[in-house]
Chain A
Amino acid sequence: MALPEAKQTATEARLAALELPEGGCLKAARQAALSRVQTMGLPSRRDEYWKYTRPDTLTAAEVSKAAVFETGEAPMFDGFDRLKVVFVDGVFDADASDDLSLEGISIERIADICEKDIHWAKDLYGVLEARGQTPVQRPLAALNTAFATDGVVIHVTGTPSKPVNLVYRHADEASDAILHHVIKVDSGASATILENGPAAARFNKCMEIDVADGGALHVVRAQGRDHERRAATHMFARLGTESVFKSFTLTVNGVLTRNEAVVELTGDDAVAHIAGACVGDGDFHHDDTVFITHDAVNCESRQVFKKVLRNGATGVFQGKILVKEGAQKTDGYQISQSLLLDDDSQFLAKPELEIYADDVACSHGSTSGAIDEEGLFYLRSRGVPKAEATDLMTLAFLAEAVDEIEDADVAGAIIERLEGWLARRH
């Protein structure tokens, strides 16, 4: 079927500005992804899935510049015992990174494996992304698979002693980064991935995650504070029997962020938790789009998203739980809430449930509201100044999402960032 003309033109313009990297063992995957993009076309405002978020700046051939923001503070996760993998404007920086060898985990650059003809990543690269294209199209992810210039493939074979920290630095105000990571967690293995930084003026990131039976992966990311940066990220996860995948995302600032998470529970008794906390002030548009498919028995999924918005900031949540036929005993939970600190901000939510099994427990709730005046007065009547009381209530609002982070130190670091954001607004 031919694409609408405007979409065709926009897609061609974007593709013309890109170069398909030399493929090696990923060549076929990249070419298949390219033809997916050509068939689907890049997202446009007219697309139902982009009703609340304008994709133009994410799909434009030209990148909009974004000033590099010097916070003067130590980057997130500094001081953590971690294995650091640094990308500057989307390019791996070996000097800034740690030695990539660590017991229980192997880390290789996409650029390096491209030179090989045979590699395990070949069976995953672009595969989970392609699976995630139905029933809803995600053209920016296919674009990523085709054109990603860097990234890492991580194979978790045991229980590494420390987390891997993917650090995304932003140095060039016109950088346009496309990173693709593949993470494969072996049966019984477990690891934590930390991600932080703005990455680039425009960042397209795709992460494909395959967790084998009994494996566990935790991902905690803090998207950088550069005010003008734009990001479209995708996470495609496939979970085996009794496996666990938990993801938490903190977003502070950024003019445009679209985070998609596509999770497929394919083995019985698997657990997937996807959570996010974002705080936005003014020119801030943040979109969480989540699609969780239950395709096995007795699986649990949780989506917990909290957004604090002020000065005309916009929050979007599109979250779906799809329970396939036979996925009995599904426990699906979804909550998306926004705290609007003024009348100018808005929250647009589209929670969805689609259920084809009869023995399931699924709930979803979406709310949007101002700070609870009763609670505020109660705190103030005990002597807590208004600003501090408001912060306390705001952190309390975010708590359910932050509680999804298992590691107390990591959670502490995230809370510190949230407190910093609040304090800067006094």
Chain B
Amino acid sequence: MLEIKNLQVKLEDEDKQILKGLDLKVEAGKVHAIMGPNGSGKSTLSYVLSGRDGYEVTEGSATLEGEDILELEPEERAAAGMFLAFQYPVEIPGVGNMTFLRTAVNAQRKARGEEELSASDFLKEVRAKAKTLKIDADMLKRPVNVGFSGGEKKRNEILQMAMLEPKLCILDETDSGLDVDAMKLVAEGVNALRDENRGFLVITHYQRLLDHIKPDVVHILAGGRIVKTGGPELALEVENNGYAGILAEVDA
């Protein structure tokens, strides 16, 4: 599904290398988790994959189902099936959440040559999905993320993901700022989308989320590279012992 080879990324405006030869492969139907110390480049990876400005890829490649995505515009990547649940969802005053969702859904359909969803079909779907995420009608009417609590913003990300039905879902610390119940809701939302055609890349600092969203593979990202890959037990090791041991082992 997603294949990243020797990805090297620096900041556009600064002579600062952030990703330093990152290799990663996410297969369809699998959940991969990425853990790693603060500042190791996890969000950068997610931004580079979704096409945000400000980064320069100096080496390497990233493909989604064989297609080189690094050359695509962000909207083209989205239409190709890429989705990023932001670590810090953006507030857009003046744009209604509902309008935003409908515009996004229909834009992607159009890009793929599919028919647009009718207003009533869209409404039905959005209401049903919002309900399972405990997103009330008021939140759908309000401007995108404006005045949403941290947890509401994260649930709103998952609602977008559920509506857009992407092929590859990247979740950047979707668990941060969530209370225990909200975390369950979000995890259920994610699990509902799990199927053999969809891949997940879940960035998190905590084992807690992985109790609910069981990963198939866990990677440790440090210093701009994947330094260790293992099974779910790797997350437990981080939870218990932190990164010191793992990093020492890698350095050795």
Q: Identify the A interface with B (CB < 8 A).
A: 372-375, 377-386, 388-389, 392-393, 395-400
Contact = CB atoms under 8 A, between A and B. Distances in A.
B79 interface: yes
Nearest to B52: A377
Contacts, number: 83
What are the nearest 4 A-B pairs in CB distance?
Answer: A396-B94, A383-B78, A382-B104, A383-B108
Contacts of B143: 396
Nearest to B79: A383
A386 B94 contact: no
B89 interface: yes
Contacts of A375: 90-92, 95
Contacts of A400: 94
A373 B75 CA distance: 14
Contacts of A381: 50-52, 74-75, 77-78, 83-84
Given A374-B90, A381-B84, A383-B164, A393 B75 contact: no
A396 B92 contact: yes
B104 A384 contact: yes
Most buried by B among A382, A389, A396: A382
Contacts of A399: 94
A388 B100 CA distance: 11
B53 interface: yes
A243 B92 CA distance: 35
B107 A393 contact: no
Contacts of A396: 92-95, 143
A388 B111 CA distance: 13
A346 to B, nearest CB: 23
B160 interface: yes
B75 A380 contact: yes
Interface in B62-121: 73-75, 77-79, 83-84, 86, 89-95, 99-100, 103-105, 107-108, 111
Most buried by B among A373, A392, A395: A392
B112 to A, nearest CB: 9
Nearest to B111: A383
Contact of B107 (A372, A373, A374, A385): A385
Nearest to A398: B94
Q: Interface on chain A toward B: helix, strand, loop, or mixed SS?
A: helix
17 contacts: A375-B91, A377-B53, A378-B86, A379-B92, A381-B74, A382-B78, A382-B164, A383-B75, A383-B164, A384-B75, A384-B104, A385-B73, A392-B99, A392-B103, A395-B94, A397-B94, A399-B94
A261 to B, nearest CB: 24
Chain B contact residues (Cβ within 8 angstroms of A): what range?
A: 20 to 34
A171 to B, nearest CB: 38
Contacts of B89: 378
Most buried by A among B73, B86, B104: B104
B153 to A, nearest CB: 11
Contacts of B79: 383
Contacts of B91: 375
A375 B144 CA distance: 10
A58 to B, nearest CB: 34
A384 B75 CA distance: 6
Contacts of B95: 375, 379, 392-393, 395-396
Given A386-B75, A392-B95, A379 B51 contact: no
A397 B92 CA distance: 10
A376 to B, nearest CB: 9
Interface string B148-179: 00000000000010001000000000000000
Most buried by A among B52, B105, B160, B164: B52
Contacts of A383: 75, 78-79, 104-105, 107-108, 111, 164
B94 A377 contact: no
Contacts of A377: 51-53, 74, 90
Contact of B51 (A380, A384, A393, A397): A380
B107 A388 contact: yes
Given A373-B53, A384-B107, A386-B75, A379 B94 contact: no
Nearest to A392: B95
Given A379-B100, A381-B84, A386 B50 contact: no
A378 B90 contact: yes
Contacts of A384: 75, 103-104, 107
A109 B197 CA distance: 73
B160 A382 contact: yes
B149 to A, nearest CB: 18
B60 to A, nearest CB: 21
A373 B12 CA distance: 15
A33 to B, nearest CB: 43
